[in-house]
Structure 1
Amino acid sequence: MKKIILSLALLVIALTGYSQGISIGPKVGLSQTKLNLKSDQFKNGDSKFGYHIGAFARIDLGGLYLQPEALFTQTQGQFSFGPDDKQYDANFNRVDIPVMVGIKVLKLLRVQAGPIASINVNSKLKEAGQTVQDTDFRNATLGYQAGVGIDIGNLIIDAKYESALDKFTGNVAGFNTDQRTNQWILSVGFRLF
């Protein structure tokens, strides 16, 4: 994980020297998550809402842009398990570091995609007791995001979909991919400069 964060930081620094401009600002948003547990023993529950808060930078690279972000993210999930189908809630608190590469399609519209590194801060199952055991919340994982955005003055609005890379590979450069919760994300940022 440290290698990926260091690599991303060095990439941002290197690209800043070649860029035509850089913008920085705060970013907040909401997400809608639904657990997709791939097991006959678990039943997936209802969709849940989460939030994120942090900062973004946008580096203009001519026709393209690079948009790294650092966000504290809280997501939730729900599932049922066991003979009585008891319902459990899962809370996932993590630091997300998405790095979007995008292109402006029209003056306001942007299309973007890129990897997202997630560092587990505090994830837990509520009231699981001894029923659900050996839960392994990985310390750090890698997924992807893709979506669209619009810019209105200094306001940026992004709508993205997030999912796991484990459908394609078990790891990338020794960095674990995962079966993260799939989620729809709507966020708003404000360019300070």
Structure 2
Amino acid sequence: MPEIYYTNFSNEVTVQNDASSEQTTIKAKNNRVDIPVLIGTNILGNLLSAYVGPVGSFNLAKDDNFDNFVQKVNTKSFTVGYQLGLQSEISKVIISARYEGAFSKDQRKFINNIAGSNQEINYDNRSSLFLLGLGYKF
């Protein structure tokens, strides 16, 4: 099942600034190209099949600023995860569900850049995903 796809998602966290009573909302954006290499087998013919395999991700994220915080992307340009799932073909309609987990982390570090502050927030942005798919076979 060869595939390649572009993934774009973001997560938000609100933190209290060390140097003041202000709060900053940090939005960690993730842009990547995913290449899953899945092996599948038919369990009940085309009615039900299962697949599993690794997924390689090329990280496209860059450093960013959030009020008093600077995001330092301390990440590998390539991370590896895994996918497992089930697929069903009824007539020409294909329904699939898969879970994606991580073998390696996508570590981000947010640093408060106000003079004298040493506030750092470490954040793993390689989250687990549950994906649903709907297709039509021509």
> What's the C-alpha RMSD, in Å, of the aligned pairs?
2.7
Give the C-alpha shift of residue 142 in structure 1: 0.9
For 2:132, give the aligned amino acid.
Answer: L
Structure 2 unaligned residues grouped into runs of 5+: 106-123
Unpaired segments ≥5 residues, structure 1: 1-66, 168-177
Q: Shift of the alpha carbon at 1:86?
A: 2.7
Instruction: Flag the 1:162–1:125 CA change in 2: closer, same or farther, 3 A.
Output: farther
> What TM-score, normalized to structure 2?
0.67
Distance apart, 1:114 and its partner CA? 0.6
Percent of aligned pairs sharing the same letter: 34
Q: 1:135 maps to what in 2?
A: 73
Deviation at 1:111, TM superposition (A): 1.5
Contact in 2 for aligned 1:98/1:115 (Cα 8 Å): yes
Which residue number corresponds to residue 116 of structure 1?
55
Residues of 1 paired with 2:85 and 2:32: CA distance? 21
| Structure with the largest fraction of helix | 1
Q: How does 1:165-180 map to 2 (within 5 A)?
A: 165-166=103-104, 180=126
- 1:185 matched to 2:131? The reply is yes
Residue matched to 1:101: 39
TM-score, normalisation: structure 1? 0.50
Equivalent pairs, count = 115
Instruction: Give the structure 2 partner of residue 68 of structure 1.
Output: 2
The separation in 2 between residues aligned to 1:85 and 1:184, in whole angstroms, is 31
Match for residue 121 of structure 2?
Answer: none
2:29 match: secondary structure:
strand
Distance 1:85 1:147, change over 3 A: farther
CA shift, 1:102, in A, is 1.5
In 1, the alpha carbon distance for the partners of 2:125 and 2:8 equals: 17
Q: Answer with 1 or 2: which has the greater Rg.
A: 2
Q: 1:190 to 1:137 in 2, by over 3 A?
A: farther
